[in-house]
Amino acid sequence: MSEPLLQMRGLRIETEVNPGKKHVKPVEILKGIDLTLHRSQVLGLIGESGAGKSTIGLAAMGYARRGLRLSGGEVWLDGEELRSASEEVLCQIRGKKVAYVAQSAAAAFNPAHRLLSQVLEVTNIHDHIDPAKAAKRAIELFDRMGLPNPEEFGTRYPHEVSGGQLQRAMTAMALAGEPDLLVFDEPTTALDVTTQIDVLAIIKEVIRDLGSAALYITHDLGVVAQVADRIKVLRHGQEVEEQETSALLANPREDYTRDLLNVRRASAQAEDADRDEMILSLDRIDAAYGKAQVLWDVSVALRRGTCLAIVGESGSGKSTLARVIMGLLPPSKGQITYQGKAISAALAGRSAASRKAVQMVYQLPDVAMNPRQTIGEIIGRPAQVFLGLSKSAAYTRAKKLLDMVDLPTDMITRFPNQLSGGQKQRVCIARALAAEPETVICDEVTSALDPLVAEGITELLLRLQRKLGVSYIFITHDMAMVRAIADDVVVMRNGRVVEQGPKDSIFDPPYADYTHLLISSTPEMRIGWLEQVLQERRMEAAGN
Amino acid sequence: MSRFLSELDVAARLGLLIVLGFLAAVFVGPFIIPYSEVEIVGSVFSPPSLDHWLGTDNVGRDLLARILAGGQMTVIISFLATCGAFAIGVPLGIVSAIMGGWFDLIVTRIVDALMAFPGLILALIMLSALGTSLPALLLVMSVLSSTIVFRLTRAVAADVAAMEYIEIARLRGENMRWFLFKEVLPNVVPTLLTEFGLRFVYAAILISSLSFLGIGVQPPHADLGGMVKENSLAITFGRMAPILPALALAILAIGINLVVDGLLKRNADLDLHK
């Protein structure tokens, strides 16, 4: 076989330590990684956060994040060793031979410049492609990416295009320098499922047509199975295993890979008796932020002891609906009824009892916990406020709650930044339960977590429901999760309810159009899923 | 403590040495030195000698004794004024950030109005109305300095106020005291501590400027700015008398700035490694 394009041998990366501080030991981020990538091959890197995926991606450009250093091993790119290469050599290589597509396109583009000038920046710097030719090629690339009005697209500013378009523009930017190697770092993670499928299809097509090699970094096996020839599974900075995609999906060698493949969703229990009693209902709600109306005529109802899932893409108004229920955003029209009684739309007008009855768990536990309070204070406070417990009684209760969410009780004196993402979310759940609520609203509680951790949280929530009989409102974009745990489903789009009913009627054919789009866009862990879905859609489009 | 020192760079350690040395000199020095700052001990503007290390001033008092006593006065007034500024600015800033709405609007506009005047001129106007007693001086300096403290606190607290844990506290129906002391203040303290150093320097410069103009600390008490004024005539004789108090003020300002810079850098590093 020909010389590999990218080769890493025993690559080690560790945190940079000030030599003056003897009490700080460097932490190893990568513990000896071997990697080989041939031309026109796509290697998928997969693993949970902190596995070192992105660090490997950046090391392929001879770069380590601030505070890290390449401490051992070799990185060979097209006959050049990058770890010992000078900054000038690296500058020549970056953009020209290897290009990077980051997760958040919105953060990667400069809002003050037009898209075309940013896409062409790399060819201007390296001056290796004639400017007129480069501009023409950029427009071709825009066209290839399926961007609207390719000639005119480059004259827009980043805020004038959608997130999916921006992600495609960034891929075009990476391709503008005609690199041999592309590094995709979670390029579709921040996108809605319906947008993700388009971007994914385009990335796959472009890689195949240009014959460039690619590293594809993601935590979603379903996604990587669609684009990668081989998959390398990583954990704690070490390789777990590497196999051809089809072989890995069919016969994983390691237990960890098997766990990743079998993220079976926890599923809800059978029906209870008193489940037809309405606990919370919203009737014909309109709501607006200032002059911009975001909810139109929304009516939903939650039955006691059940789980109501509200699904939709970003911008569909599902989180706004949660804010309306909590009283943070008084609706301009409509009525909120709790246990048969109308309650005040504004938070200020609600009694302590009605504030206690509905608690909320947020998507990002990092910003939902005060970094300067201990876990004990965070969990204990709602118990003090709502149950009138003394400080020491609240402390005891916090311990009990920690135990309930499967965390060690000695965690009570720690601060949030000493916990992992999954532990933080468990603390947030414990805090919500501390008030002994009847209803808990979960706003995308698992979407910031790794699949295995997310599964643990989902199981915990279901177990708590059986034990405490709380009712849930689950706000999510994840159809697989809805299918697993919901009793009733509300599908929202652009601030309106497009379909609602018991789960079975939503998930059984015939589907409503938009619901079908959402369901079919969720990546499945098998090769050829992407092509199959696109094929089906083309046929449907031709049929209409 | 040694851990704290090791996190500071060389310049900051030097600054810390300067500041501690300065504080030790002005608070301990007057007890050691054999002259009082009000006692006339020699002829006018005599040059440095073994008896009077820095020479004598415009009425024949020992210059070193006056600089030490004057430095003490400047440090005490600046410290009290800065404390006053923080006592006004920090709570208002946090409450503005949390409450928003009309409260925020009114306080912000008042602060804007105060900041629209040059500080020294506003101080002149207020002091000529209130008289030059020490409490009036402290009040004026605190109010003037509090505008900037308010702005900084409000900006930092606004970042905190946007966090979801504030929303959760709001959903719990917490009172303003809880927001102030439990939710926001612990998160803004690091920023405010460094700002305290900077405000202290500006307060020292302001009180010196006021004294130089004759409306600050009144004779026979010494303070650094007043001493520059008293001794200004010596310049014509080529004597250093007016330069030395100004130099003392400069050394204090430089020392504090070095420490503050080091602290800011350290905080930035800590953020990086979070």
Q: Which of B13, B159, B168, B265 to mutate to test the interface with A (most CBs of A within 10 A)?
A: B168
Is pLDDT of A326 > 70? yes
Is pLDDT of A15 > 60? yes
Q: Is the CB of B187 less than 8 angstroms away from the CB of A373? A: no
Q: How large is the average pLDDT for residues A10-18? A: 85
Is pLDDT of A272 > 70? no
Q: Is the CB of B174 less than 8 angstroms away from the CB of A385? A: yes
Q: How large is the average pLDDT for residues A223-241? A: 90
Between A303 and B60, the higher pLDDT residue: A303
Between A219 and B155, the higher pLDDT residue: B155
Alpha carbon separation from B133 to A201, B137, B141 (Å, rounded): 78, 6, 12
What is the end-to-end Cα distance of chain B in Å, rounded? 21
Chain A positions in Cβ-Cβ contact with residue B273 (cut-off 8 Å): 67
Nearest chain B residue to A15 by CA: give it.
B273
Residue B164, both tokens? 């979801």
Is pLDDT of B40 > 50? yes
Chain A positions in Cβ-Cβ contact with residue B274 (cut-off 8 Å): 417
Chain A positions in Cβ-Cβ contact with residue B164 (cut-off 8 Å): 362, 364, 367-368
Mean pLDDT is lowest, of A15-29, A120-134, A210-224, B163-177, for A15-29
Report pLDDT digits (tens) over A474-513.
998 888 788 888 889 999 988 899 888 888 888 887 778 8
Is pLDDT of A285 > 70? yes
Query: If we measure between CA atoms, which residue out of B41, B40, B37, B45 comes closest to residue B67?
Result: B37
Task: Decide if A304 contacts A274 (C-beta within 8 A).
Answer: yes
Please give the pLDDT value at position B273.
Answer: 42
Report pLDDT digits (tens) over A337-356.
988 888 888 888 888 888 89
Is pLDDT of A361 > 90? yes
Confidence of residue B103 (pLDDT cuts 50, 70, 90): very high
CATH annotation of A306-330+345-508: 3.40.50.300
Confidence of residue B274 (pLDDT cuts 50, 70, 90): very low
Please give the pLDDT value at position A273.
Answer: 47
Residue B43, both tokens? 């002829």
Q: How large is the average pLDDT for residues B154-181? A: 90
Confidence of residue A523 (pLDDT cuts 50, 70, 90): confident
Q: Is the CB of B172 less than 8 angstroms away from the CB of A381? A: yes
Confidence of residue B76 (pLDDT cuts 50, 70, 90): very high
Nearest chain A residue to B270 by CA: give it.
A67
Q: How large is the average pLDDT for residues A237-261? A: 88
What's the one-letter identity of residue B54?
Answer: L
Confidence of residue A44 (pLDDT cuts 50, 70, 90): very high
Residue A461, both tokens? 């929530």
Confidence of residue B272 (pLDDT cuts 50, 70, 90): very low
Nearest chain B residue to A418 by CA: give it.
B274
- Phi, psi (5° rounding) for residue A287? -145, 155
Q: Is the CB of A20 less than 8 angstroms away from the CB of B6? A: yes
Please give the pLDDT value at position A544.
Answer: 61
Residue B54, both tokens? 């820095």
Is pLDDT of A290 > 70? yes
Residue B186, both tokens? 């612990």
Please give the pLDDT value at position B200.
Answer: 92
Work out the mean pLDDT of chain A and round it to a whole number.
86
Please give the pLDDT value at position A424.
Answer: 92
* pTM given for the model: 0.82
Report pLDDT digits (tens) over A56-110.
999 998 888 888 888 888 899 888 888 888 888 888 888 888 999 888 777 888 8
Between B202 and A18, the higher pLDDT residue: B202
Task: Decide if B97 contacts B161 (C-beta within 8 A).
Answer: yes
Chain A positions in Cβ-Cβ contact with residue B182 (cut-off 8 Å): 370, 373
Tell me the pairing of strands A358-361 and A439-443. Answer: parallel
Please give the pLDDT value at position B5.
Answer: 67
Domain with CATH 3.40.50.300 in chain A: 6-262, 306-330+345-508
Nearest to B171 among A21, A23, A326 (CB): A326
Is pLDDT of A268 > 70? no
DSSP letters spanning A148-208: SSHHHHTTS-GGGS-HHHHHHHHHHHHHHT--SEEEEESTTTTS-HHHHHHHHHHHHHHHH
Is pLDDT of A36 > 70? yes
Confidence of residue B4 (pLDDT cuts 50, 70, 90): low
Alpha-carbon span A231 to A215, nearest angstrom = 10
Report pLDDT digits (tens) over A163-197.
888 888 888 888 888 888 999 998 887 778 888 88
Nearest to A66 among B170, B173, B272 (CB): B272
CATH annotation of A6-262: 3.40.50.300
Counting residues of chain A whose pLDDT is more than 90, the rounded percentage is: 24
Chain B positions in Cβ-Cβ contact with residue A21 (cut-off 8 Å): 6-7
How many A×B Cβ pairs under 8 Å? Answer: 52
Nearest to A21 among B6, B172, B272 (CB): B6
Please give the pLDDT value at position A432.
Answer: 93
Please give the pLDDT value at position B89.
Answer: 94
Residue B62, both tokens? 């020992």
Report pLDDT digits (tens) over B131-167.
888 889 899 999 999 999 999 999 999 999 888 999 9
Confidence of residue B3 (pLDDT cuts 50, 70, 90): low
Nearest to A417 among B163, B165, B274 (CB): B274
Is pLDDT of B98 > 60? yes
How long, in residues, is chain B? Answer: 274
